[in-house]
Amino acid sequence: MPMTRWLARFPEVWITASIVAITLAFALSQGLPFSLPSGERAAFVGIHYLYPLIGLCIWIAVAAVGQREKLGSTLFIGLPCYAIVLVCHFNLKLWIPHINPALWDDFFWATDEAIRPLIDFCIALSHAIAPVISLDGNFYMTAFILLFYAGFCYHAVKTPERFHTLFLAALILQGLGGLAYLAMPAIGPFLYEQGPYTLATAAQQSMYAAWQANVAGGAGWLDTYGGTHITVGLAAMPSLHAGGSFLFLMFAFRYAKPLAYPAALVFAYICMAAVATRWHYAIDIPVGMALALFSYWAAHRLSAPGSVATIDEQPALAAPAPRSLFARFVRRQPPAIRQISNL
């Protein structure tokens, strides 16, 4: 298969290559070390952000039932691509204060204050549901990861023809999200007020201390601590938790009806909690959703009927029946003879 056709069939390869090229360009131009996750778990956020990779590993086991034919390409192409983009994503997040140190927190805080009743409503709602979802727990992250697991596993088994589209959309969202953080960097509204979630508040304090050490230490700090702190970069704008849950919600309503209403509840909770925990300004939510909508559209374009990927996966058209010996004989005769044969 020619290289161009192969890349068209597996767009995740050139998407990943593009993200890697941009990430390395930032690293070389700014003199920033590229960090790989270390074996030591970053305890700042309660649940490790890289756990979604485990979800893809679980999917491999599930996919053995749903789409055996594509298991190899997912295992040896899709999974490595997602892992590479995720590592680039978190490196970009760590590099924010060195690439674009101009913070927009004051502006975003003013937008929150302009809609203060909505912020207060989210905080009040978090207290109201505390008997069901504890303020001391980390359901915010747990719910997001469970939605990730459920979405990939369901589509792998029930709608295997759409799994690749979902995978591309998630890959695009992760890649573009890491770059979007650099446009209007912000730390988060917890700089101005504390939310009611105790675990989130503790995580925010630890991550902000790491942010300050990162700013002060620069490349030297990144070289020493980048691997163990790779998941603790702060970036409020846009909210990729809201964007990611919205992405899975769109796929659920279109292709996975049994997941639609649970996904809608998780999405609503994540949007509320993103604001109530003071991880995010309210304006971060619609921007994250817009990024998810673009990723959804782009993934469908890349896997649309007629694309190289889908053409190669479609069954071949039946070969025309061979002509009979008599028909081939008649075709070689003069026109008068052919007309007689048609009588």
**What pLDDT is recorded for position 60?**
64
CA 68 to CA 90: how far, in whole Å? 32
Residues 81/172, Cβ–Cβ less than 8 Å: no
Q: What is the pTM of this model?
A: 0.82
Tell me the average pLDDT across 267-277: 96
DSSP-derived letter for residue 70 is G
Tell me the average pLDDT across 154-159: 83
Residue 316 in this model has a pLDDT that exceeds 50: no
Whole-Å CA distances, 133 to 61, 127, 195: 31, 9, 15
Residues 80/13, Cβ–Cβ less than 8 Å: no
DSSP-derived letter for residue 77 is I
Out of 1-10, 182-191, 304-313, which region has the weakest mean confidence (pLDDT)? 304-313
**What pLDDT is recorded for position 58?**
65
DSSP-derived letter for residue 51 is T
CA 106 to CA 109: how far, in whole Å? 5
Out of 18-27, 158-167, 194-203, which region has the weakest mean confidence (pLDDT)? 158-167
